[in-house]
Amino acid sequence: MNGPLTFDFRQTIAKNRLKGLWRMMVDYRLPYLGATVALAISATSKTLTYLLLRYFADVLTGDTAAIGNDLPRTFIWVALGFVGLSFFQGGFSYLSGRLAAYTAEGIARRLRDFLFDHIQRLSFSYHGTTPTGDLIERVTSDVDAVRRFFNEQAIGMGRIVLIFIINFVALLRLNAKLAWISVIVIPFMLWVSMWFFKRVTKRYEKYQEQATTLSTTLQENLSGVRVVKAFARQNHEKTKFDGDNWEKFLRGRHLLLMHSLFWPLSDLVLGAQMLGGFIVAATMAINGEITVGTYLAYVGLVAWLIWPIRNLGRLIVQTSTGLVSYGRLMEIAKQEREDLVEGKLQPNGSVRGEIVFDDVSFAYDDEKSDGTPVLKNISFRCEPGQAIALLGSTGSGKTSLVNLLPRFYDYTSGSLRLDGIELKNYPRKYMRAQTGIVEQEPFLFSRSIRENITYGVGRDVTDEEIEEAARAAAVHDVILTFPDGYKTLVGEKGVTLSGGQKQRVAIARTLLKNPHILILDDSTSSVDMETEAEIRVALKNLMENRTTFIIAHRIQSVMVADLILVLDQGKIVQAGTHKELVADNNGMYREIYDIQTRIDQELEEEIASVI
Amino acid sequence: MSEEEKIELEEEEHTSPLTMPVLKRIIELLMPHKLWVIGFFIAIALTSALDGVFTYINKNIIDEGISAGNVERMYELATIYGGFIIVQSIMVFSFVYLAGVLGERVQYDLRKRMFEHLQDLSLSYYSQNSVGRLMSRLTSDSGRVADLVTWGFLDVTWAVTNIITSVIFMAVINWRLALIVFAIIPILVIVGIRFRMHILVEFRRSRRANSKITGAYNENITGVRVVKALGREDENLHEFQGLTDEMYRSSYRAAWLSALFLPIVQIIAAIALGAIVWYGGVQSQSGLLTVGGIHAFVSYLTFMLWPIQDIARVYAEMQHSIASAERIFKLVDTPPDVHNMPNAVDAETLLGEIEFDHVDFYYEERKPVLKDFSLKVKPGEMIALVGPTGGGKSTIVNLLCRFYEPKRGRVLINERDYTEYTLESIHERIGIVLQTPHLFSGTIRENIRYGRLGATDEAVEEAAKLAGAHDFITSISKGYDENVGEGGNLLSTGQKQLISLARAVLSKPELFIMDEATSSVDTLTEALIQRGMENLMSGRTSFVVAHRLSTIRRADRILVIEDGRIAEMGNHAELLQQRGHYYRLYTQQFRQELEQHYGVVDKTEEKLSAPKIIAAD
């Protein structure tokens, strides 16, 4: 079922969660109805089996006449009847199970696809503020809880209710008095079982809590093994672990006590109910009010009436987890997506790369930042192919500024023009295709190196092209030393790349993508000098003929830029070429430059002093 | 996909046949709780047998009560029935409680045994087995073994008793009809097992698909910025749909196979039932079978279906549990690499000469880490170890602490091979501060006291003062009683380091070892740490894996370690003069530290790759 998604979870959201779950079933309601009908037919066949048994017994005892008074022939028919009914019962039970699974698995798949797509289209602000673990938890466990709701709880409840109704009706037809006597205890049982499962859930949570405590203790001990050993604290650790371990045992016992009381107690109550029914029915049979056959049918039917009730309480309690999960998924679905294609302009060529910032300001619109702008009145322009360096300390707004270009965020006021056209008119998808980003420590996927290089290129690429890109990125030789060359997996199952290697793979990736605007996070502080030189070569190849924004950390790497912007607290405090900026004795740039020079001097002095 | 899930999935693939030695060891686990085991076996067997009895009483109610028109006999039988209901309830209570508590107890025992053994195992064991894997030994594996010895054994006992009881009663009622039933039992068992196996295969497939799905989610969410920047949304969705398709196919198949399984068993049984009804009807004509008898046959046949359809599931689970048991036994059977020699003596003091005498060391064979390493250290000397990552600095520290022992050569303390001393006497006299300081959940006070368990509150605070941690501790709201969070994650790295310094101070070590943090901390904390270190080192022999210039400069001797050898050795001035490795390292470090100091660069630099992005590996 590959292709664009047809199901939109957002359209089915409802405040009432049960209603929401019902609306989520769109397209699957018919199969689900089918599952219920099949269930009813199957349950009816089962009930009919007991009625057939009744007929058979009555024939044996002579209460009913045999077919054409021919006993052996009647027996054959009855025997065939049993087999036939069981085919009916089994066949429809299978059909019902299959349809329910079709519904539940189908809905779950649809939901998974939707959530995956939805999440990757949510805004940057959302991803910036939502912990990954929480999202993963929701899209896995909560989806599974919803799946179980359709596959087990909803159908399970339907099963119990249907079985009850069908058997009760059959009993009523057999003998109304007996039927009513047999259900006296049910409301009580239902109440008890709800009460019980709620309690058990609580005790279970406490047990689980302790399990978490225990595994924390364990984990801290195992990961701190050096500390434990270095301080020779083995005995202390043993005592501590034993305390937690024993507490878990006690809580487990506490939980089990509940279980071991509920099951026999319900056995006892329901057993008494059945026995009472048997006595009444047997008395009636002896008095001739009902036939032996009716008694047999009663004994069979009443079991199907009573025992399922025990599980109803559990189902009701479990259903609440399905509802909670639905609510948690709803929260994700409600989030606004980024529109990738929106924009007045639908360009198909590439941009030239002339960029004009005209009084641009920007503030994040999440709760934490409460509207304080992180960029204030930014104005500058750059020609196609120029290199712009951004210099400034943490929080000065360098990153926020470059994040505007691929439209990760939209500026709040002012005008930002690309090739003379307002940036907001370009679709996001287009802007991202035109922009390449090389991060300091880029994210690579657990795929082969080849796939990582071609990731996001969006067209078929030949091996030659890939190798060429890798060579230009100065990483080809490194890749060849890996066991499977370009097919080597990155990450846990394959090779672990160093920071510098990752960066060069990302450069190769960007070269293949061939964007006209380039954003570089130029920090080489984490790599050694040799690697630094290699990365420089790679970067130089990359920057050719592209408008480049460099997030710079050192004077050394901004000197070559056509325009240097010095940022402080969201404002451009200085702009110009290296030559111009150094000439300004009171500027921040000069200050930084002086510090760098002073460092070099100090180093000289330091060395001179010891030698 | 989390590591736990991966391990779980991987280990789920493992199944083992039941072999006598393993079974014997599993049963040994139960020996301390013999009476409980006997009790629960009796209770479950009785419960199961009583189910058969109820049907038999019912038959007699029909035949001797109803058909014979004997009200008194009916009441008599009903009273017996009622009595048995009470007995059965008691039995149900007993087996649920006994089996459940026994299960918890066996888990407790296993965890205790493994944990205590783990405390004795050497660091080499830990480096070969990830924390996640060890955790799963103590959590899921012990749980599975406990399930086997309780619910697993219980299922088997129940099933066997159920079938035997049913068979006996059927044979008593009418042995000819019973033969029909015997004939279908093997068919049912074979069908049952084959079906279950198919279902299990699909089920595993769907689990595998599920973990791939989780992995895809994980990667796409953590890498969402790259996805967006490269505009990969449509392709990613397409790939993901492939995974959900796979998941859908296997779980749908598993579900409908399960839905088909019970009906098939029932239909086979119904054919037998048809035969019984027909043949029974014929026989009843000659008085060989009563109405109650036929009814009883129908009931027994229905009963027997339950254990049969369960058999394959129980068998499959057993195989997993046995694999779990084998892993547990393997853990507790592993002898510690580093242990006390038979005649080990107390080291008495570490404040003597320490010597590495032609030491070779490797973690994996053919990948040498230290080669012919020799070094003599005078008491009270401060040694700084510098050099590239992977050069062997940490290994030297590991050997010094006797977390590992040399593969060749010796480490001498006071001119005696340190393997002649007891481990405890060495460890007690070492104070260690790790690069990533490890704290335990609990209060700051408890964490410092870990250095000397009997220490008074005054001693704890005194140590904190010496380590330079006191001021920051008293500045937080609850002071020494503040919780540090899981693994200390409520504190900053610098604060954690100060606390672990205080912990080391409190233990009054004779040999102090520190692995300096590479990550930067704020200037103030940095100064505090430096002062704390100074206090700690005075009058002690110390080894520091150094990253800070101030530490390096202070050292009596600097060792540049490269490729498992000492590349350069000497004091600061001597080494600078050589203009070699040390000179390069130093100038690079010097520039970085000063740049940081002047605020030109800070390592906590905001990245394009934003707050929560983690690397693919």
pLDDT in tens, A389-433: 998 876 788 888 999 999 988 899 999 999 999 999 999 888 988
Q: How far apart are CA A403 and CA A380, in angstroms?
A: 16
Q: Is the pLDDT of residue A563 over 80?
A: yes
pLDDT, residue B603, reads: 40
Give the position of tokens 């042995």.
B175
Q: Tell me the residue ranges of DSSP E strands in A125-213.
A: none
Q: Is the pLDDT of residue A524 over 60?
A: no
Q: In chain A, which residue's Cα lies nearest the Cα of B612? A: A128
**In chain B, where are the structural domains located?**
3-333, 341-429+514-520+545-601
Task: Give the domain range for residue A470.
Answer: 355-576
Residues B594/B574, Cβ–Cβ less than 8 Å: no
Interface of B with A in 483-512 (CB under 8 A): 486-487, 500, 503, 507
**Residue A589 placed within a domain:** no
**A61 & A162 share domain:** yes
Burial class (CB in 10 A: 0-12, 13-18, 19+), B142: buried
Check if A126 contacts B (Cβ < 8 Å): no
Interface of A with B in 38-77 (CB under 8 A): 53, 56-57, 59-61, 71-72, 74-76
B48 neighbourhood in chain A, CB within 8 Å: none
pLDDT, residue A106, reads: 93
Closest CA to A331 of A11, A12, A21, A13: A13
Interface of B with A in 42-71 (CB under 8 A): 58, 61-62, 65-67, 69-71
pLDDT, residue B1, reads: 43
CATH top class, domain B3-333: mainly alpha
CB pairs under 8 A between A and B: 466
pLDDT, residue B557, reads: 92
**Residue A310 placed within a domain:** yes
Nearest CB partner across the interface for B608, out of A85, A399, A456: A399
Mutate to test the interface with A, among B55, B75, B278, B553 (most CBs of A within 10 A): B278
pTM here is 0.78
**Chain centre to alpha carbon of residue B586:** 43
3-state SS track over B527-596:
HHHHHHHHHHHCCCEEEEECCCHHHHHHCCEEEEEECCEEEEEECHHHHHHHCCHHHHHHHHHHHHHHHH
Residue % of chain A over a pLDDT of 70: 96
- For residue A478, the domain's CATH number is 3.40.50.300
Closest CA to A435 of A346, A324, A514, A342: A514
Residues B541/B400, Cβ–Cβ less than 8 Å: no
Q: How far apart are CA A344 and CA A114, in angstroms?
A: 27
Closest CA to B473 of B442, B530, B465: B465
pLDDT, residue B612, reads: 27
**A448 & A479 share domain:** yes
**Residue A215 placed within a domain:** no
> Could you report the per-residue pLDDT of A96-154, keeping only the tens digit for each?
999 999 999 999 999 999 999 999 999 887 887 787 778 888 888 889 889 989 888 88
> Could you report the per-residue pLDDT of A341-387, keeping only the tens digit for each?
887 777 778 888 899 999 999 988 766 666 788 899 999 999 998 99
Nearest CB partner across the interface for B101, out of A61, A229, A256: A256
- For residue A114, the domain's CATH number is 1.20.1560.10
Measure in Å the smallest separation between the Cα of A80 and chain B Cα atoms: 6
Check if B22 contacts A (Cβ < 8 Å): no
Report the pLDDT averaged over residues A52-76: 84
Report the pLDDT averaged over residues A217-226: 86
pLDDT, residue B614, reads: 27
Mutate to test the interface with B, among A599, A602, A603 (most CBs of B within 10 A): A599
Say which CATH topology domain B341-429+514-520+545-601 has: Rossmann fold (3.40.50)
Q: Do B237 and A399 touch (CB under 8 A)?
A: no
> Helices in A388-492 by DSSP H: which ranges?
398-403, 428-434, 449-454, 463-472, 476-480
**CB within 8 Å of A2: residues ≥ 6 apart:** B238, B241, B242, B245
**A69 & A147 share domain:** yes
Residue A597: pLDDT band with limits 50, 70, 90: confident
pLDDT, residue B413, reads: 92
Q: What DSSP line would sit under B254-280, residue for residue?
A: HHHHHHHHHHHHHHHHHHHHHHHHHHH
Residues A599/B598, Cβ–Cβ less than 8 Å: yes
Query: In b/e form, how buried is each residue of B496-521, taking b as 16+ CB within 10 angstroms?
Result: bbbbbbbbbbbbbbbbbbbbbbeebb
Q: How far apart are CA A451 and CA A70, in angstroms?
A: 79
**A132 & A37 share domain:** yes
Answer positive or negative: Cα dihedral of A103, A106, A112, A118.
negative
Residue B83: how many CB atoms within 10 A of its CB?
10
* B513 three-class SS: strand
| Token duo for residue A487 | 């097919």
Give the position of tokens 């028919």.
A77
| Token duo for residue A355 | 């960029």
Last residue of a domain, one of A310, A338, A366: A338
**A360 & A295 share domain:** no
B96 neighbourhood in chain A, CB within 8 Å: 256, 259-260, 263-264
Nearest CB partner across the interface for A456, out of B221, B230, B590: B230
Query: In b/e form, how buried is each residue of B475-491, taking b as 16+ CB within 10 angstroms?
Result: eeeeebeeebeebbeeb
A128 neighbourhood in chain B, CB within 8 Å: 610-612
For residues A495 and A319, which has the higher predicted lDDT (pLDDT)?
Answer: A319
**A539 & A406 share domain:** yes
Structure-derived torsion over alpha carbons of residues B287, B293, B294, B295, reported in degrees to the nearest 10: 150
**A463 & A524 share domain:** yes
From residue B45, how far is each of B33, B153, B165 by CA, in Å? Answer: 19, 11, 10
Nearest CB partner across the interface for A437, out of B229, B263, B507: B229
**A427 & A493 share domain:** yes
Q: Is the pLDDT of residue A156 over 60?
A: yes
Check if B244 contacts A (Cβ < 8 Å): yes
Measure in Å the smallest separation between the Cα of A111 and chain B Cα atoms: 10
pLDDT, residue A31, reads: 93
Domain count, chain A: 2
**A157 & A296 share domain:** yes
Nearest CB partner across the interface for A222, out of B134, B256, B507: B134
| Token duo for residue A302 | 């009443």
**A403 & A468 share domain:** yes
Low-confidence ranges of chain B (pLDDT < 70): 1-16, 312, 517-523, 595-617
pLDDT, residue B4, reads: 58
One-letter amino acid for residue A474 of the chain: A
**Residue A583 placed within a domain:** no
Report the pLDDT averaged over residues A180-197: 87
**A450 & A425 share domain:** yes
Nearest CB partner across the interface for B131, out of A223, A340, A441: A223
**Average per-residue pLDDT in chain A?**
86
| Token duo for residue B540 | 């002690």
**A364 & A447 share domain:** yes
Burial class (CB in 10 A: 0-12, 13-18, 19+), A125: middle
